[in-house]
């Protein structure tokens, strides 16, 4: 449903790209994965999102966005500009939006948040509560995650990003730039202006985990979002997660319809990491423990998910979030061996052994 507002907001940007038609399949595929309906009209493709409309015209070399509200317009500009920058990277596209809100410099998807609560759920899972203003957009668009912007030892007093003329964030110079990591909104209360994030406290030199370890009420952090694609509705799910995917999996089990069926596996270090999950669905829940093996070295989770037989009838979805190697095993099984499509599966790498800041860029 399009947001209610006084009048429609509209803007456009020229696309001086020599090879636009060559990128269009990838651009359209990406936009459709954010639940846009696409329709072709000669050399123009129109996209209808829940929060507004967009079109890319390969003849006139222009893209257009319109929405009933500021959040919707900012979201569409961001999705279009990101898709063009990703797939037309070789042509180094210069995007300049004109029209409504084109002079805007505040970033619609950014909020400064203040820590208001710290609680250890288990020896290695710390729940932080954050307070901020006007959090309604974090309940929109179907994305469950945020990019969190942290101060670090080298940049203790960062500057936050602003909105550029291309519809994307403009970052300060390196000596004031915060460091980003991706986290899940475990719980959101728009009316009270609070979000909860569960941080896994893991070994090694880090930004997010290190910050969470010494977080205290009053400390500031930036968040941007929501990010991520909506999880498809289905009658039956097979799910798998390690500790980093657990906040998202737990949120799904609390919010999917009660009639939903399936099976979910969560890998944790040991029994001490078990926590209360308010599973209100008919999805069977199983803990798997590594019992001494380092995170990311155990194939138990991937094997458990692979061993599940998918139902013959009704709609089904596979959702997986864990270390990159495990995600690859599951993705190859679902997409390759079982021949399932992107609309039935999401196997995501939430971190990679030995690599810092996966997916945070």
Give contact residues for ligand FAD (rule: CB under 6 A): 145, 181-184, 198-200, 202, 204-209, 228, 244, 247, 295, 350-359
Q: List C-alpha distances in Å: 358 to 127, 204, 286.
A: 21, 15, 27
Q: Which is nearer to ligand FAD, 38 or 121 (CB)?
A: 121
Bridge partners of 219?
A: none
**Minimum distance of ligand FAD from residue 60's CB (angstroms):** 36
Q: Are 357 and 211 within 8 A, CB to CB? A: no
* C-beta neighbour count of 284 within 10 angstroms: 11
Contact between residue 30 and residue 81 where contact means Cβ atoms under 8 Å apart: no
- CB closer to ligand FAD out of 87 and 183: 183
Q: How far is the CB of 348 from ligand FAD (least distance, A)?
A: 6
Q: How far is the CB of 35 from ligand FAD (least distance, A)?
A: 17
From 206, 212, 236, 18, select the one nearest 119 (Cα to Cα).
Answer: 212
Shortest CA distance to 252 belongs to which of 226, 273, 233? 233
Q: In angstroms, give the least distance from the CB of 246 to ligand FAD.
A: 8
Which of helix, strand or coil describes residue 117? strand
Instruction: Give me the least distance between CB of 220 and ligand FAD, in Å please.
Output: 17
CB closer to ligand FAD, 48 vs 140: 140
When the beta carbons of 255 and 315 are compared against ligand FAD, the nearer one is 255
Query: Shortest Cβ distance from residue 203 to ligand FAD (Å)?
Result: 6
Using the minimum distance from each CB to ligand FAD, give the nearer residue, 108 or 212: 212
Do 113 and 131 touch, CB atoms closer than 8 A? yes
The kind and range of the H/E element at 29 are: helix 20-32
Q: Which is nearer to ligand FAD, 205 or 313 (CB)?
A: 205
């Amino acid at each position: 449903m399009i947001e209610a507002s006084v009048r429609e907001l509209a803007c456009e940007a020229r696309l001086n790209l020599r090879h636009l038609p060559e990128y269009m399949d990838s651009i359209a595929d990406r936009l459709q994965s954010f639940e846009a309906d696409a329709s072709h009209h000669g050399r123009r493709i129109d996209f209808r999102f829940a929060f507004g409309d967009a079109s890319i015209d390969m003849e006139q070399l222009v893209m257009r966005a319109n929405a009933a509200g500021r959040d919707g317009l900012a979201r569409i500009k961001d999705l279009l500009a990101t898709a063009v920058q990703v797939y037309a990277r070789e042509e180094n596209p210069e995007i300049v939006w004109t029209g409504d809100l084109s002079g805007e410099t505040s970033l619609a998807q950014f909020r400064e948040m203040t820590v208001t609560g710290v609680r250890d759920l288990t020896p290695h899972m710390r729940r932080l509560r954050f307070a901020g203003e006007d959090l309604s957009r974090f309940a929109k668009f179907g994305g469950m995650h945020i990019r969190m912007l942290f101060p670090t030892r080298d940049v203790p007093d960062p500057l936050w990003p602003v909105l550029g003329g291309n519809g994307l964030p403009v970052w300060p110079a390196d000596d004031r730039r915060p460091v980003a990591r991706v986290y899940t909104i475990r719980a959101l209360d728009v009316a009270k202006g609070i979000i909860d994030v569960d941080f896994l406290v893991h070994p090694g030199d880090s930004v997010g985990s290190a910050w969470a370890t010494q977080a205290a009420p009053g400390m500031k952090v930036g968040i941007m979002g929501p990010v991520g694609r909506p999880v498809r509705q289905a009658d039956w799910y097979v799910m798998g997660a390690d500790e980093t995917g657990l906040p998202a999996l737990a949120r799904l089990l609390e919010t999917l319809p009660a009639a939903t069926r399936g099976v979910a596996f969560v890998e944790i270090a040991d029994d001490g990491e078990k926590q209360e999950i308010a599973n209100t669905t008919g999805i069977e829940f199983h803990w798997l423990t590594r019992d001494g093996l380092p995170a990311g070295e155990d194939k138990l989770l991937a094997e458990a998910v692979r061993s599940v037989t998918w139902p013959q009838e009704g709609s089904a979805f596979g959702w997986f979030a864990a270390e990159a190697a495990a995600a690859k095993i599951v993705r190859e099984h679902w997409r390759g061996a079982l021949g399932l499509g992107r609309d039935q599966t999401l196997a995501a790498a939430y971190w990679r052994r030995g690599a810092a800041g996966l997916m945070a860029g």
